[in-house]
Each structure stands twice: as structure tokens, then as C-alpha cells.
Amino acid sequence: MTNVPFFRPDIDDEDIAAVVEALRSGWITTGPRVQTFEAAFARYVGAAHAVAVNSCTAALHLALAALGLRRGQAVLVPTLTFAATAEVVTYFDATPDFVDVEPDTLCMDPAAVETRLARAWNRTTEIVGAIAVHYGGQMAPMPRLAHLLRAARCFVVEDAAHALPAAAYDPETERWISVGDLADVTGFSFYANKTITTGEGGMATTADATLAQTMRSLSLHGMSQDGWTRFGAGGSWDYAIAAPGFKYNMTDIAAALGLRQLAKVDRFRARREEVAARYTAGLGDLEEIEPPRERADRRHAWHLYPIRLRLDRLAIGRDEFGQALAARGVATSVHWRPLHMQPYYAQRYGYRAEDFPVAFREWRRLVSLPIFPGMSDAAVDHVIAAVRDTAADGRRRKFAVA
């Protein structure tokens, strides 16, 4: 039987050779390869500065630290996101203030942000910023969100873990806006299953030299210079600690892989887009499911391909649907149980499931299908057949047959 994994990283012989070369070079932690990777990454995303770190979570944490988040303040976070987006806010004893998502893109809803900001005056916590998430690789409505947040003097952080590369059209300026263009700081992920990988890794990008310098220093114990500068020719052993920092630096081993992966990022995206188009062509007519909705004014990274089940037309639920796909050799996932429905956040802040009706309604019918650059047409077709068979088996019959 064919087995289709949910994801498989695309690592070729040249990627492996680059890592081996780094291992043989005599310098394996943060050094020349990290510097080259940062410069190439900044150029690719069109950012003035890029700071390489060991995860996107670290990048988001450093972003909030550099932006000066303080205890007792609040940061708006979409409830439909991965744990990291909200968790980094709690590192400061600050409050992740959840908002609902748009029904079609499942990204942070500008209308919900507007309502939250308008009511902020009678809250005990001060909303100082927001972290937008580009759900599945489709860019959040950044022009609108940035406009609303700037007007309220809030900082803007983008969690771009899914969105290398992605863009949105801004009708005001009649330009395409790339991921990161409208944010103070943007975090990218190079986790094993993200759009490019370094095993574990991340990048913080910004247009602001001071924010970049603060994040760079905080990424390595708050030290004024890193090991490569200190131990390299003409370096000195000494350094100054401006503030206590963290241990978030990227290794040259990871950067060697990152550089190779970055060279392939457009090819990877093109293949993911083909896979998505093949899915939509093969599933679009099926009445039991809805394919992901792509807006015409977005350039989608297609990190995920999340279908939604029409539960009114099915006699089975989402989990049974996933189990039936697994039985047909197709691995799936769910992105995600909304964070306000996770025990910690529900108990700590007293959220009820229905507080965010869109996220509450949609997550119950979300199933993410496999999508990755090395996926063959045959594998895509196997998944399409499995979804069609599962939908046919699970179809709700109007009249029971005796």
C-alpha cells in the first residue's frame, strides 16, 4: 500500500556536502556561515537586517524583548495559532490577548482587532502590540492590520513561520507587500517541516538597526561581540555585557544547510503551489469538503493545505475522517486547537470555547493534507483518492437504507 507522510524535508546531496564541509572547517558554532546566511536571507526577504537564531520562538521572544514589552501589558494574538506565538508573551508576565480569525483565510481578523482596540480603554491591561500569523502560508491582511495598530501606537510583529515567501497586494499604495515589510520585527522558522529547514532554526528580520543590534546582543548572553569576532584574527577575548540575554545563537552547521535551502526556496514554493493546485483540481467538486480559500490579492507560500469538512454532509467527525485517511496510508494533522481552548489559557484567563466563534467553529472541521516539495504527482493523486473514498464512505445519507 502507498504511504504518504505528512511532510518530508527536501535534503539533497549538496545540502549534505555543505554540512559536512562546515563540520570539517574547524568552526562549527556561530561564525562565517551564519554571517553569510543572514546577509543572503535579508537580501531575499528585502529586510535591512537579519539575526539568525535557533528557532522562530527565539526570534519572537527577542522581538518582544527588543520592543520593550513589560510585565502586565497585553499583546494581541490570533487564537488559531501554534503555542509559540502566545507563549513568548507569557515570558514577560504579559498577557496574550486573543482575537478571532477571518472565516476564509483563518488569519487574524482586522475587524476583531479594531473592536479590541476600541474597548481597550476600560481594560486593566494596556495593549501595546500584536503578533500576526500568516496561517498556512497565506499572508494576513497586513496593510489593514498595520494601519489599525499604528493608529493605536501598537508595535507590529509578524510570525512568518509558514510564510517564506508570501506577499499581499496593498490597494492603498498599489504595491505588493512582502512578508515582513510592514512589521517592526518578523520571525521565520526553519524547523524540520517548515518551508526551508536547518533542522531547528529561525531568523528575526527588521528595518531598524537598533532593534537588530539589541536582538543580536540578547541572542548571545547580551554580549557585545560573538565568538567568531573574539577568537578570529585580530580579535580580543574581552566583551561587555549590556544586559542579561539568552542562548539563542545559530550554529554554522545549521547555517550551512540554511544557505543551501535558501537557494532552493523559490523552487520549493513553486512545487508546493503545483501540489496545492492539483489538490484543488482533484477535490474542488467534492461536496463533503471545502478546499482552502486563496484570495486573489495574496501570493501564498502553501506551507499547509488545510481542507475543511462539511460536517452537515458527513456522518463522521473530523477525527474519524483523519483516522480513515490514516487507514488509507495518508498522514494528516490539524492546525490547531485554538489556544483559548487549551487548558492553560482557558483556566488562566477564563475563556470559554465560544468566545471566538470563528476559530471555535472552524477548527472542528480542519484537516491538513500532506504537502511538501518532494511530493510526487502519484502521491498527491493517492491522497485525492483517499479523501474521495473517505468522503463517500462517511457521507450522510438522507434516508437510511433498510
Ligand X SMILES: *Cc1c(COP(=O)(O)O)cnc(C)c1O
Residue positions annotated with a catalytic role: 194
The answer to whether the beta carbons of residues 238 and 218 sit under 8 Å apart is: no
Q: 30, 55, 197, 198: which one contacts ligand X (CB under 6 A)? A: 55
Read off the DSSP letter of residue 235. -
Contact status: 191 vs ligand X (CB under 6 A): yes
Asked whether position 248 contacts ligand X by CB under 6 A, the answer is no
Closest approach of ligand X to the CB of residue 147, in Å:
23
The yes or no reply on residue 305 touching ligand X (CB under 6 A) is no
Show the binding pattern over residues 124-143: x = contacts ligand X (CB under 6 A), - = does not: ---------x----------
List of residues 6+ apart from 140 with CB closer than 8 A: 105, 107, 108, 132, 133, 134, 158, 168
Distance CA 316, CA 392 (A): 11
Of the two residues 157 and 324, which places its CB atom closer to ligand X in the complex? 157
Give 204 or 324: the residue with its C-beta nearer to ligand X: 204
Q: Which is nearer to ligand X, 61 or 328 (CB)?
A: 61
What is the closest distance, in whole angstroms, from the C-beta atom of residue 385 to ligand X in the complex?
A: 28
> Hey, what's the cell of 366?
480542519
Choice between 142 and 384, CB closer to ligand X: 142
User: Quick one: which segment of 27-35, 81-89, 104-112, 263-271 binds ligand X (CB under 6 A)?
Assistant: 81-89
Q: How far is CA 287 from CA 292, 306, 307, in A?
A: 14, 16, 12
CB of 309 to ligand X, least distance (A): 22
Contact call for residue 85 and ligand X (CB under 6 A): yes
Question: H-helix or E-strand containing 320?
Answer: helix 318-327
Handedness of CA 336, 338, 341, 342 (dihedral sign): positive
Q: Which stretch binds ligand X (CB under 6 A): 156-164, 213-221, 231-239, 314-322?
A: 156-164
Instruction: Give the three-state DSSP class for 14.
Output: helix
Query: Which one, of 7, 3, 1, 107, lies nearest residue 368 by Cα?
Result: 7
Judged by beta carbon, residue 30 or residue 198, the one nearer ligand X is 198
Report in angstroms how near the CB of residue 160 gets to ligand X at its nearest. 9
Give CA–CA dist 348/350, Å, rounded: 6
Sole window of 4-12, 31-39, 78-86, 361-369 interacting with ligand X (rule: CB under 6 A): 78-86
The angle at the Cα of 278, spanning 381 to 395, to the nearest 5 degrees, equals: 65
Q: How many CB atoms lie within 10 A of CB 400?
A: 5
For ligand X, the binding residue among 30, 178, 186, 189 (CB under 6 A) is 189
Element (H, E) at 344: helix 343-349
81 lies in the binding site for ligand X (CB under 6 A): yes
**Binding test (CB under 6 A) with ligand X, winner from 67, 69, 75, 84:** 84
CB of 135 to ligand X, least distance (A): 8
**Which residue reads 531598524 in cell numbers?**
208
Residue 88: CB minimum distance to ligand X, A: 9
Quick one: which segment of 76-84, 236-244, 284-292, 358-366 binds ligand X (CB under 6 A)? 76-84
* Using rule CB under 6 A, residue 161 touches ligand X: yes
Using CA of residue 254, residue 260, residue 265, residue 267, what is the dihedral sign? negative
Q: Cβ-count burial of 283 within 10 angstroms (0-12 exposed, 13-18 middle, 19+ buried)?
A: buried
Q: Does 82 bind ligand X (CB under 6 A)?
A: yes
| 119 CB neighbour count, 10 Å cutoff | 10
Q: What stretches of 335-394 adopt beta strand conformation (E)?
A: 366-369
Residue 179, interface with ligand X (CB under 6 A)?
no
| Torsion angle (degrees, nearest 10) of CA 259, 264, 265, 270 | 180
Q: By CB under 6 A, which span of 24-32, 82-90, 203-211, 290-298 interacts with ligand X? A: 82-90
205 binding ligand X? (CB under 6 A): no
Task: List residues near ligand X by CB under 6 A.
Answer: 55-57, 81-82, 84-85, 133, 159, 161-162, 189, 191, 202
